[in-house]
Amino acid sequence: MRVLIFGATGFAGRYLARELTQLGHVVWGASRAISTDANAGHPVALEVAQLLRCDVADGAQVRDVLAASQADAVVMLSGVASPPEANRLPEQSFSVHVTGAVNVLGAVAARPRATRVLVVTSSEAYGSTGRAASPLVEEAALHPTSIYAASKAAADLAAEAFAVSRGCDVVRVRPFNHTGPGQRRDFVCPDFAGQVAAIAAGRRAPVLEVGNLDVCRDFSDVRDIVRGYVAALLRGKSGDVYNLCSGHGTSIRDILTALCQLADIEPEIRQDGSRQRPAEVPAYWGSAAKAARDLDWRPEIPWHRTLADLLAWCRAGEGIR
């Protein structure tokens, strides 16, 4: 199968391209930036037959890339990576997540050949529903509480509408928090791991800057999550949606403690108010029962190994073996 990944050069995109390639599929990539050093710090080499330049907010570019790749399946993974960044850039967030999804779905709907589309949204779309409904199931209401979450929810609804009104072969996934080597440092796990690695190496004072440690989220390994993307692409029911998650909550405090124990350090913990998000839901986690039943997907990588691999990657960035 020929698969076109929009957002192939990103954190999860590189893992997904590798996973599909190892399964024998021909993978094409599309990205706004196609320089050879794009995301050069990522530990996974970009494995695509060809990488094409494309801004998903430009419908003509989307159509051209789709025609060039002759894809049998498309993955919409382009996005403004982090919620704080999306909240700073609301127009860009909606342009990429919503207009981008509509452009991809519209281009696919106009094709004479059948093309499956996987649209990756986010568990953040559940928003305030998580205050009372955890574990969250796919039927839970979407009540986003941030710009990032609202734009992801809109993309999710657009994908469902294309499936219902245009007959598109669309599957949606809502991944919960995931991390691993290669993730940008403005996410909580690599941020903490980077600080811990620098402290352990003696290159930073033994003080960890943190936000709200009492927040609880559902964390998984990115390598498990991209296996879920592949399972949904290959086996997902057209028009349906699947949570991809561990099924239990982990506090930010527990993540910090585990990383410090792995590095054998006991730093001072200093809270920084600028690191806290407004209107943040204190705790939520998901149910992956539907993905287990329909896709035969379950997370396999132990969380301790995920953190150990992430810390090792950050230590390598500090020049430590």
pLDDT given at position 54: 97
Q: Evaluate whether residue 295 is within a structural domain.
A: no
- Total number of domains in the chain: 2
Please report, for the domain that includes residue 253, its CATH number.
3.90.25.10
Same domain? For 253 and 174 the reply is: no
Same domain? For 113 and 188 the reply is: no
Tens digits of per-residue pLDDT, 107-130? 999 999 899 999 999 999 999 999
pTM above 0.85, yes or no: yes
Q: Evaluate whether residue 292 is within a structural domain.
A: no
Q: Evaluate whether residue 310 is within a structural domain.
A: yes
Same domain? For 135 and 228 the reply is: yes
pLDDT given at position 281: 87
Peptide bond into 135 cis (omega under 30): yes
Q: Evaluate whether residue 45 is within a structural domain.
A: yes
Same domain? For 52 and 187 the reply is: no
pLDDT given at position 165: 96
- Spans of the chain below 50 pLDDT: 36
Q: Evaluate whether residue 32 is within a structural domain.
A: yes
Same domain? For 200 and 226 the reply is: no
Same domain? For 12 and 161 the reply is: yes
Same domain? For 204 and 226 the reply is: no
Same domain? For 308 and 166 the reply is: no
With b for 16 or more beta-carbon neighbours within 10 A and e for fewer, the 250-270 pattern comes to bebeebbebbbebbeeebeee
Q: Evaluate whether residue 297 is within a structural domain.
A: no
At 307 the three-state DSSP class reads helix
Angular region, 309: left φ>0, alpha ψ -120 to 50, beta rest: alpha
Q: Evaluate whether residue 276 is within a structural domain.
A: yes
Same domain? For 119 and 226 the reply is: yes
Binning the chain into helix, strand and coil, the percentages to the nearest 5 are: 45, 15, 40
Same domain? For 45 and 169 the reply is: yes
**Domain extent at residue 193:** 183-217+248-285+302-317
Strands 250-251 and 216-217: antiparallel
Q: Can you tell me the distance from the alpha carbon of 225 to that of 222, in angstroms, rounded to the nearest whole number? A: 5
Q: Evaluate whether residue 290 is within a structural domain.
A: no
Angular region, 298: left φ>0, alpha ψ -120 to 50, beta rest: beta
Cβ(259)–Cβ(311) below 8 Å: yes
Same domain? For 112 and 164 the reply is: yes
Same domain? For 74 and 195 the reply is: no
With b for 16 or more beta-carbon neighbours within 10 A and e for fewer, the 157-179 pattern comes to bbbbebbeeeebbbbbbbbbbbb
